[in-house]
Structure 1
Amino acid sequence: MQLNDYLRQLQSQNKSVHTVSNYQRDIEAFLGFYLSGELLSETDVSENSFLTAVEYQNSLVKNFSEWQSIDSETIRAFLAFRVQNGISARTLARQLSAIRSFYDYLLFENQVIKNPAKGLKAPKQPQPLPKSLDVDLTQRLLEQPLETWQDVRDQAIFELLYSAGLRVSECAELDLSPGLDEMQSGWVRVLGKGMKERLAPVGSKALQAIQMWLQIRDQHAAAIEQAVFVNQRGGRLSVRSIQNQLDKRTLQAGLPTKMSPHRLRHACATHVLESSGDLRAVQEILGHANLSTTQIYTKLDLQHLAQVYDQAHPRAKKKNS
């Protein structure tokens, strides 16, 4: 059987047992859907048959070889059927990938003349809402004692991520010039996605933290290093190092949550939006090319509003059961 041959090939490619099992289950689920109509019209299946309907369908699946008869519309119908049954977009994407991969194998083996799954797109993955951080927890993170030169450096980094809403890569790649040329005016110049340059705002706390760091930076940076933030060897601090330092600060602050530099960027956006309601301003701060990218923060803002309303409005409070 072609399916068994395909699964053996996956095993020979050192695919994990979990992957092979998933692909087998996905392809059999699709074939079961395809054969369901044939099963209902099959005259050999009757109440007196020693095979149940389920057993009979399983036998059809195991012995099926007419893969050439399946077209793109059948695969679309299968995906639509799975959507109606509440299957997640992530699972559907994996199932379509399994079907496409199997047909690639059949093409290679000259058992079909085309791949009906080629060109089909899985349902769009739902965009998860970014996890923000409330103001009190943000302040606790940023108000820890500074005992080493790395603490002073990290304070400048974290304040900048939160104040300017920078991506962590933008922070790591920030150079003394032109990055800090306009810092005294309250701006840093960063190079964002698509090599687009923008000015990002620097609040008073971030400005103070950066100035403290610059006072000692030259003691730790290599002579020719232009990076604002440097490591113990005097070279540019990496994105991974920033994440590691933030992990340490999170533990130091006793925060009841996992932190990431991206969450500080999200916190900047949500806190500005909650206070101002100005979505265009948030778009400019974050450096989003399209307003639609920024609009996800309106969902966060509405979630926050709903929580406050439920807790504060006398006619919204739920009665104790």
Structure 2
Amino acid sequence: MLMIERFLEYLRLERNYSPRTIDGYGKDLNEFESFFKNLDNYLSWETVDSDVIRDWMVHMMDKGNTATSVNRRLSALRSFYKYALKRKFVEVDPAHGVQGPKNKSPLPQFLKESEMDRLLDPKMWTDSYKDILARTLILMFYETGMRLSELTGLNCQDVDCLARNVKVTGKRDKQRIIPFGEELDRELRVYSQRRDVEIGKQAEAFFLTAKGERMTGAQVRAIVRRQLARVSTLKKKSPHVLRHTFATAMLNHEAGLESVKKLLGHESLSTTEIYTHTTFEQLKKVYKNAHPRA
């Protein structure tokens, strides 16, 4: 206990840590001390080894602590032992080299195909410029998987309805061409005609507000959030969710991983592979619901 108090005093006086942080470090270290004393009452801060620390991590995970929580407590322990080694309170640092659990990356959120079908049903929309613009934006994200910045950066010359492709400028100004289908082609033509009539002038930007200005990222996000709320209960309702929805739909319909990588403009295949986890989760649900012995 004395070693912990000295360490906390060091954090307060020499490192100028906040009272809240010092209190958190104290709780973490006292918890670890209680843990190793329960393992073996003869254990001390000087005799604890890396295996005891790993056992503590397993113990915390078994109790339902997240990887983030375990890593935070391990960080407190590392700081303590660095201090203790420097002050020669211990001869070795058992926390050195101990790897914490990897934080589990959340799977991408996406809409079901049935939800997208409902949202894109013509009956859900009016023939106002506002609705035509919103529906075209949704369909553009869903059928191409482009990023928000790529969409707002589109100029009229980038959209080729004859060839049915769109040229986008992605990260680090890298350009790629994305093909699209008949439905989006039809929607883009309807939108373009209505835009030219409504705005009354030819602008460089492809997507324009009713005032004839290029759409901003904030404006597009607001539209997407409002429209997705009509069919989805997802907490996150952003253009990136539609990008995830595009990638998941492509893989669910047997598109190759390399092809999806190129369409999304990913540098590395490992970035695209996260969507295979998403589709596998879907397969597990199907299996669980369909197999009589699941």
* TM-score, normalised by the number of residues in structure 2: 0.73
Tell me, which stretches of 5 or more residues in structure 1 are unaligned?
43-59, 61-65
Tell me how far apart the structure 2 counterparts of residues 318 and 133 of structure 1 sit (CA, whole Å). Answer: 28
Deviation at 1:97, TM superposition (A): 4.1
In structure 2, the residue matched to 1:139 is 117
Task: Return the alpha-carbon distance in structure 1 between the equivalents of residues 13 and 156 of structure 2.
Answer: 54
Corresponding residue for 2:133? 153
Contact kept, 8 Å, 1:221 with 1:235, in 2: the verdict is: no
Partner Cα distance (2:220, 2:194) in 1: 18
Query: Pick from 156, 168, 171: which aligns with 1:176?
Result: 156
Task: Give unmatched runs, 5+ long, in structure 2.
Answer: none
Does residue 78 (structure 1) correspond to residue 80 (structure 2)? The answer is: no
Post-superposition shift, 1:33? Answer: 5.3
Secondary structure of 1:139 counterpart: helix
1:220-239 equivalences under 5 Å are 220=199, 226-231=204-209, 234-239=212-217
8 A Cα contact 2:169 2:175, kept in partner: yes
Aligned partner of 2:28 among 26, 29, 34:
26
Letter in 1 for 2:185: L
Change (3 A) 1:82 1:134: same
Distance of 1:23 and 1:151 partners within structure 2: 54
In structure 1, C-alpha distance between the alignment counterparts of 2:180 and 2:249, rounded to whole Å? 15
SS in 2 for 1:199: strand
Q: C-alpha separation between the residues in 1 aligned to 2:96 and 2:109?
A: 35
C-alpha deviations, 1:113-155, integer Å up to 9, x for none? xxx7799764322222222222111111222213532322221
What pairs with 1:159-238 in structure 2 (closer than 5 Å)? 159-177=139-157, 179-180=158-159, 182-218=160-196, 219-220=198-199, 226-231=204-209, 234-238=212-216
1:264 matched to 2:242? The reply is yes
Q: What residue is the counterpart of 1:56 in the other structure?
A: none
In structure 2, relative to structure 1, the CA distance for the partners of 1:157 and 1:83 (3 Å cut) is: farther
Pair 28,166 (structure 1): closer, same or farther in 2 beyond 3 Å: farther
Q: Secondary structure of the residue that 2:168 maps to in structure 1? A: strand
Q: Counterparts of 1:70 and 1:194 in 2: how far apart (Å)?
A: 52
CA contact (8 A) 1:220 1:234 kept: yes
Q: 1:317 to 1:210 in 2, by over 3 A?
A: same
The corresponding residue for 1:295 is 273
Work out whether residues 8 and 22 of structure 2, in 8 Å CA contact, stay in contact via their aligned partners in 1. Answer: no
Question: 1:297 and 1:40, CA in 2 relative to 1: closer, same or farther beyond 3 A?
Answer: same
SS in 2 for 1:301: helix
Q: In structure 1, give the amino acid aligned to 2:68.
A: R
Q: Deviations over 1:55-74 (max 9, x none)?
A: xxxxx9xxxxx8xx799x74
Which segment drifts farther, 259-268 or 160-169? Answer: 259-268
1:125 counterpart residue number:
103
Q: Contact 1:6 / 1:102 at 8 angstroms: preserved in 2?
A: no
Q: Percent same amino acid among aligned pairs?
A: 28
Q: Following the alignment from structure 1 to structure 2, what is the Cα–Cα distance between the partners of residues 80 and 174?
A: 54
1:299-310 matches, within 5 Å, as 299-310=277-288
Asked if the contact 1:133–1:263 (Cα under 8 Å) also holds between the matched residues in 2, the reply is: yes
1:310: Cα distance to partner?
Answer: 4.2
Deviations 1:32-83 (A, max 9, x none): 557777x6227xxxxxxxxxxxxxxxxx9xxxxx8xx799x74x86256404
Structure 2 match to 1:41:
42
* 1:264-297 deviation line (CA, Å, top 9, x unaligned): 2122122222222522222222222222322233
